[in-house]
């Protein structure tokens, strides 16, 4: 039986009533996505640094200054790209020295080294041959969908354009990828920054050869851009005459740190790549990670940078990935193919046709199983939401059939596993026969309601029914109910600081492409990872057609956005268009992007939230054609995304519900005649929707459609009704674990409710458990005296030691002085981190508290409390009222080996 532990916190699924998960499923260790004590330091350009000798590296002055002050550190990658990024990755012996680092002359910025997960395709399968059930029926349909086929027919193939792929490397020995490496080959260059064994936490072993024969992801990406036609599966890359460079930043498995991604980005820039593409990233919501900042700066200089928007659509809005959030990069959403392949299970016993289940691959079981149903009643709402009764047989000998609904799929699976069960068929409860993500749990699938009801009726009647799962020949071409729509896994933007993410969409579902030869040569993968190289290849076609120049590169995003095709939210006639927070400007129409004679600038009208509202916008329309054009301008609204669950502090899980409460748009003119070469400004005044529930933080968006006799282009607007500062950051509910958060949890897994002592021997230390309902620019834990007089914003009223109420204005926040924080005396800092993403459903942030301060100094025995503070989005870090705060119960430090103690 497969174990679910370890992935437990990932199995969140949409639209179910509340359910809690056991705190014991949480590992007792810090899970913040940073490399401890490692920072990327950005310094001024060399000339600005006082006391710098002319012959030394720009950051040498900073290092010398640290050494002079006795601060311990190690230097990793050094970056010297004046105008882009000058600095170094530095690991400090003690985090407290960050302050000293900050005060060093010449230091511009210090950012933690963020760890990015290895790209996880939503679906991945190595194909076995032509008969393989997973090969999409029309391998080149993605080219037809986007006009790439027409460009290929015109001989536009990306010849002479250099594309750098920052990924897991490329298997260039693949015959469809040129069969070799170096000058004259398709994969003409690159570098391996990490080596096979790198996993994000160990020491990279770089070399000159970016061969990937163990991971496969980068090889798949390379094929989407550059596979030569004439192969077994009739596929070709979008820009298969382009020259590829492979920058390998991922080992065979594991994560990659920002420090490596930045090194690869700068290398790609100095190698004069026309396009850089990154199908990687981590859920973030922020534009501030170093790799996002550097990627954006590169894009501003001319090279096109395409980066995946992320596969976190199920977690709702404000959650696009970084570095894709980089302000000037093209963040790419995914579109679903029109046909999907599902599998059949064969029914034995009573004559009955096969039952189709929603999975691209067969459930990996070759035996024939009897059926067990967890309820004889097909109308039960919470089937298997509670532990199954003692009378339940050993379910390892059955296929268990369960009705969908009321609690998480995960909860049901765990209850079934508790009785030995493994294979589970969920029957639909009216929510729809659709892709349900079991996060890698391959032994569960959804069937239709009627099929489930039939199986239950046979069970109740005592009829012996057995099922088996053919491993070949039982696939069904099923019209993908979401075909032609944005893939539900595409992360929703915008960024927390309201940048327009994702930018555009491209096909990313069910994509067949090259795979390392030792791993099978071809594979089908799904994800924004697959959509991203499609846009990289499209950019190469653009540069190949219009010329390699910084100006063309900088125009790429606008051209793709203005010519994109808007995507509906569903296949009914009534449904609104999908929110721009998930589709961006729409599906790329590469043919039109290259050939349009109408230029629109800007293509993104970012209105921001209502507290920082920019409702008066201008767009300029230019006719670059040879004939007079008559334009009609209209407002085409997209659905307003109701991003928060009404009346709660939580962003709603995806798919984010849409409403038809639209903004009002006033254009200075709705018709326009432009002569060849003429351009004209149009003023656009956009008023937020007046109806709709403001507690749902509606994101309203839409298009200003500009239609001539022959062309349709558009600008896309995006705004928020409400102020992001009103979004509570820290979750103080009991919805996740059944007790109020934040909490300190002891070694027994019990939340601390009153004073408690910790010896810090073995497992006897408090685990801080915090959920962030929204992302925060600053999260801080301080040790404070136990009798501190502060009024936290979030403590629940059940806390049994009330603190005296003081004036709220007592706080303000000049963080810097070691012994005060927000004008309150602190004993010392335990942790301070910047730009933390919110915690998606069922996830939490955990912090391991040790017997030391952040700087490593041992905390004297005594009684204290822990004060948690989180800055609200757009909040002012000098204003107390812009923070959420929470004060812990009394924490006694009673290390028995230490007789020294302090008075509280
Ligand atoms: C910092 O740590 C390194 C290795 O852990 C050690 O060699 C060095 O002496 C330390 N430096 C200071 C100033 O503590
Ligand atoms: C491969 O492509 C060619 C030309 O586009 C087409 O004629 C042929 O039918 C395709 N073969 C398969 C197996 O799809
Ligand atoms: C469900 O039906 C089966 C088969 O008829 C029967 O053995 C079982 O007792 C029923 N369970 C309940 C709870 O009624
Ligand atoms: C799969 O099941 C469906 C529904 O019973 C049936 O129409 C179809 O023919 C089956 N296909 C295969 C290949 O078994
Ligand atoms: C939105 O407003 C906030 C607060 O002023 C600002 O920090 C942010 O940069 C703005 N976003 C954009 C895209 O301009
Ligand atoms: C913590 O330890 C101190 C000293 O041993 C003791 O006085 C106090 O009662 C203990 N508190 C709790 C809550 O156990
Ligand atoms: C570490 O921080 C504590 C609390 O602020 C302070 O008392 C101590 O002096 C610091 N230690 C060092 C080595 O800076
Ligand atoms: C005891 O605590 C003091 C701080 O009060 C610290 O300096 C000392 O290293 C600790 N001793 C042990 C054995 O942990």
d(CA 310, CA 121): 10
Second-level CATH architecture of 38-117:
2-Layer Sandwich (3.30)
Residue ranges lining ligand 1, Cβ < 6 Å: 70, 72, 93
- Main-chain dihedrals φ then ψ at residue 548, nearest 5 degrees: -80, 100
Query: Looking at the predicted structure, is the pLDDT value of residue 766 above 80?
Result: yes
Per-residue pLDDT at 888 exceeds 90: yes
Q: Are strands 423-427 and 475-479 parallel, antiparallel or unpaired?
A: unpaired
Work out the average pLDDT over 462-471.
94
Asked if residue 903 has pLDDT above 90, the reply is: no
CATH of 123-337+485-595, one of 3.40.50.200, 3.40.220.10, 1.10.443.10, 3.90.1520.10: 3.40.50.200
Expressed in angstroms and rounded, the spacing between residue 289 Cα and the centre of ligand 2 is 45
pLDDT on residue 807? 26
pTM of the model as a whole:
0.84
Contact, 244 vs 226, CB < 8 A?
yes
Q: What is the pLDDT of residue 815?
A: 44
Q: Within a 10 A sphere around the Cβ of 683, how many other Cβ atoms?
A: 12
**Domain-wise residue ranges, the chain:** 8-33+727-893, 38-117, 123-337+485-595, 339-479
Q: Please name which of 556, 36, 641 lies closest in space to residue 306, comparing C-alpha atoms.
A: 556
Helix (H, G, I), strand (E, B) or coil at 400: strand
Asked if 373 and 455 count as a contact pair (C-beta separation under 8 A), the reply is yes
Highest mean pLDDT pick, 47-56, 201-210, 590-599: 590-599
What the block records as the tokens of 712 is 């349709």
Going by pLDDT thresholds of 50, 70 and 90, the confidence category of residue 755 is very high
Nearest CA to ligand 1 atom 8: 72
Q: Give the pLDDT mean for 265-279.
A: 98
Pick from 10, 366, 456: which is nearest to 447 by CA?
456
Q: What is the 3-state secondary structure (H, E, C) of 495-548?
A: CCCCCCCCCEEEECCCEEEECCHHHCCEEEEECHHHHHHHHHHHHHHHHHHHCC
**DSSP bridge pairs for 863:** 892
pLDDT (tens digit, 9 = 90+) per residue, 515-567?
999 988 988 788 999 999 999 999 999 999 999 999 999 999 999 999 999 99
Least trusted range by pLDDT, from 113-127, 273-287, 613-627, 703-717: 113-127
Q: C-alpha 637: how far from its chain's center?
A: 26
Is pLDDT above 50 for 17?
A: no
Q: How many angstroms separate the CA atoms of 593 and 595, rounded?
A: 6
Lookup: tokens for 376:
């004889």
**What is the separation of C-alpha 216 from the centre of its chain, rounded to a whole number of angstroms?**
20
Pocket test for ligand 3, best of 460, 463, 464, 465 (most atoms within 8 A of CB): 460
**Number of other CB atoms surrounding residue 555 within 10 Å:** 19
- Which residue, among 136, 164, 712, 147, has the nearest Cα to 480 in the 3D structure? 136
Least trusted range by pLDDT, from 58-72, 249-263, 310-324, 659-673: 58-72
- Separation of CA 436 and ligand 4 centre (Å): 20
- What CA–CA distances, in Å, run from 53 to 46, 82, 746, 816? 9, 17, 53, 30
Q: What is the mean pLDDT of the chain?
A: 87
**Poorest-confidence range of 307-316, 352-361, 474-483?**
474-483
Q: Quick one: average pLDDT of 855-861?
A: 84
Ligand 4 is surrounded, with C-beta below 6 A, by: 344, 353-354, 356, 474, 476
For ligand 3, whether the C-beta of 462 sits within 6 Å is yes
Q: Which ligand is nearest to the CA of 451?
A: 4
User: Omega into 789 within 30° of 0, i.e. cis?
Assistant: no
- The closest alpha carbon to 653, from 839, 873, 883, 500, belongs to 839
Handedness of CA 894, 767, 119, 295 (dihedral sign): negative
At 373-426, the pLDDT tens digits run 999 999 999 999 999 999 999 999 999 999 998 888 888 999 999 999 999 999
Q: 379: exposed, middle or buried (C-beta count within 10 Å: 0-12, 13-18, 19+)?
A: exposed
* Cβ-based burial of 623 (10 A; exposed 0-12, middle 13-18, buried ≥19): buried
Looking at the chain, the whole-number percentage of residues with pLDDT higher than 70 is 89
C-alpha angle 273-276-282 in degrees, rounded to nearest 5: 155
> Mean pLDDT over residues 895-901, rounded?
75
Q: Average of pLDDT values for 204-226? A: 96
275 vs 439 pLDDT, higher one: 275
Statement: residue 12 has pLDDT above 50 = no
Q: Look at residue 695 in the predicted model and tell me its pLDDT.
A: 87
List residues bridging with 162 in a β-sheet: 243
Calpha distance 538→531 (Å, rounded): 11
The CATH code belonging to domain 339-479 is: 3.50.30.30
Contact 608, 630 (CB under 8 A): no
Which of 424, 455, 451, 452 has its CA nearest to residue 438?
A: 424
Q: What pLDDT score does 804 carry?
A: 33
DSSP class of residue 380 equals -
Terminal Cα distance for the chain, rounded: 52
> Which pair of structure tokens corresponds to residue 342?
């599902």
Stronger pLDDT, 332 or 3, i.e. the higher one = 332
Residue 820's pLDDT band (cuts 50, 70, 90): low
- Residues β-bridged to residue 548: none
| Cα separation, 354 vs 331, whole angstroms | 42
Mutate to test the pocket of ligand 6, among 756, 757, 761, 899 (most ligand atoms within 8 A of CB): 757
CA–centroid distance, 287 to ligand 5, in Å, is 11
């Amino acid at each position: 039986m497969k174990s679910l532990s370890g992935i437990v916190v990932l199995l969140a699924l949409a639209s179910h009533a509340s359910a809690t998960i056991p705190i014991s499923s949480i590992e007792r260790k810090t899970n913040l996505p940073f490399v401890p004590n490692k920072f990327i330091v950005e310094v001024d350009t060399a000339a600005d640094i006082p006391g710098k000798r002319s012959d030394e590296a720009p950051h040498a002055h900073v290092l010398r200054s640290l050494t002079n002050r006795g601060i311990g550190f190690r230097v990793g990658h050094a970056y010297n790209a004046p105008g882009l990024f000058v600095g170094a990755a530095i690991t400090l012996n003690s985090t407290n020295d960050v302050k000293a680092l900050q005060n060093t002359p010449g230091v511009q910025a210090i950012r933690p080294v963020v760890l990015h997960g290895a790209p996880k395709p939503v679906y991945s399968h190595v194909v076995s041959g032509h008969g393989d059930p997973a090969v999409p029926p029309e391998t080149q349909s993605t080219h037809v969908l986007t006009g790439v086929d027409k460009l290929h027919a015109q001989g536009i193939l990306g010849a002479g354009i250099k594309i750098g792929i920052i990924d897991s490397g490329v298997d260039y020995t693949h015959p469809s990828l040129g069969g070799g490496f170096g000058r004259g080959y398709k994969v003409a260059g690159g570098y391996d920054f990490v080596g096979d064994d790198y996993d994000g936490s160990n020491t990279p072993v770089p070399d000159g050869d970016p061969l990937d024969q163990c991971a496969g992801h980068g090889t798949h990406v390379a094929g989407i851009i550059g596979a030569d036609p004439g192969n077994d599966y009739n596929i070709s890359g979008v820009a298969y005459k382009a020259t590829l460079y492979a920058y390998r930043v991922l080992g065979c498995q594991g994560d990659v740190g920002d420090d490596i991604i930045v090194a690869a980005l700068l290398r790609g820039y100095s190698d004069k790549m026309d396009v850089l593409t990154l199908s990687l990233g981590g859920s973030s919501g922020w534009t501030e990670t170093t790799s996002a900042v550097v990627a954006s700066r590169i894009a501003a200089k001319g090279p096109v940078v395409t980066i995946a928007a992320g596969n976190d659509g199920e977690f709702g809005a404000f959650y696009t990935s970084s570095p894709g959030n980089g302000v000037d990069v093209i963040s790419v959403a995914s579109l679903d193919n029109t046909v999907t392949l599902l599998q059949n299970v064969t029914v034995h016993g009573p004559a009955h046709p096969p039952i189709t289940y929603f999975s691209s691959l067969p459930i990996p079981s070759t035996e024939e199983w009897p059926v067990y149903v967890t309820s004889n009643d097909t109308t039960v709402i919470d089937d298997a939401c509670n532990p199954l009764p003692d009378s339940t047989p050993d379910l390892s000998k059955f296929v268990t059939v369960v009705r969908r609904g009321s609690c998480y799929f995960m909860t049901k699976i765990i209850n079934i596993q508790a009785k030995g069960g493994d294979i589970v068929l969920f029957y639909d409860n009216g929510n729809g026969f659709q892709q349900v993500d079991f996060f890698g749990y391959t032994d569960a699938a959804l069937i239709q309601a009627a099929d489930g009801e039939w199986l239950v009726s046979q069970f109740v009647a005592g009829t012996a029914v057995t099922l088996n799962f053919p491993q070949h020949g039982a696939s069904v071409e099923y019209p993908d109910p979401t075909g032609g729509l944005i893939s539900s896994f595409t992360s929703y933007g915008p960024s927390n600081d309201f940048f327009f993410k994702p930018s555009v969409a491209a096909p990313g579902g069910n994509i067949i492409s090259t795979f390392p030869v030792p791993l099978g040569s071809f594979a089908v993968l799904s994800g924004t990872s697959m959509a991203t190289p499609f846009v990289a290849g499209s950019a190469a076609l653009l540069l190949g057609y219009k010329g390699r120049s910084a100006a063309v590169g900088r125009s790429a995003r606008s051209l793709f956005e203005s010519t994109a095709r808007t995507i509906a939210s569903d296949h009914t006639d009534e449904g609104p268009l999908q929110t721009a927070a998930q589709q961006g400007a729409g599906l790329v129409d590469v043919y039109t992007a290259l050939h349009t004679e109408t230029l629109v600038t800007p293509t993104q009208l970012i209105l921001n939230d209502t507290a920082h509202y920019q409702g008066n916008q201008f767009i300029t329309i230019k006719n670059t054609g040879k004939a007079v054009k008559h334009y009609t301008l209209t407002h085409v609204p997209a659905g307003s995304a109701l991003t928060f669950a009404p009346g709660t502090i939580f962003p709603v899980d995806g798919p984010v519900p849409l409403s038809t409460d639209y903004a009002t748009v006033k254009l200075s003119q709705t018709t326009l005649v432009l002569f060849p070469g003429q351009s004209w400004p149009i003023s656009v005044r956009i008023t937020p929707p007046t109806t709709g529930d403001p507690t749902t933080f509606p994101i309203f968006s839409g298009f200003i459609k500009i239609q001539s006799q022959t062309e349709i282009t558009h600008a896309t607007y995006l705004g928020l009704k409400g102020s992001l500062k009103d979004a509570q950051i820290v979750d103080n509910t009991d919805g996740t674990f059944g007790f109020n958060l934040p909490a300190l949890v002891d070694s027994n897994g019990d939340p601390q409710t009153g004073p408690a002592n910790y010896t810090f021997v073995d497992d006897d230390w408090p685990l801080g458990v915090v959920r962030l309902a929204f992302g925060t620019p600053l999260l801080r834990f301080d040790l404070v005296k136990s009798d501190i007089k502060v009024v936290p914003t979030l403590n629940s009223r059940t806390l049994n030691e009330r603190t005296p109420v003081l004036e709220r204005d007592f706080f303000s926040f000049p963080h810097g002085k070691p012994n005060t924080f927000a004008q309150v005396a602190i004993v010392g800092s335990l942790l301070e981190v910047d730009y933390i993403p919110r915690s998606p459903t069922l996830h939490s942030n955990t912090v391991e508290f040790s017997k030391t301060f952040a700087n490593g100094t041992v905390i004297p025995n005594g009684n204290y409390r822990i004060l948690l503070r989180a800055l609200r989005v757009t909040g002012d870090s000098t204003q107390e009222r812009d923070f959420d705060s929470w004060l812990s119960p009394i924490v006694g430090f009673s290390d028995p080996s230490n007789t020294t103690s302090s008075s509280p």
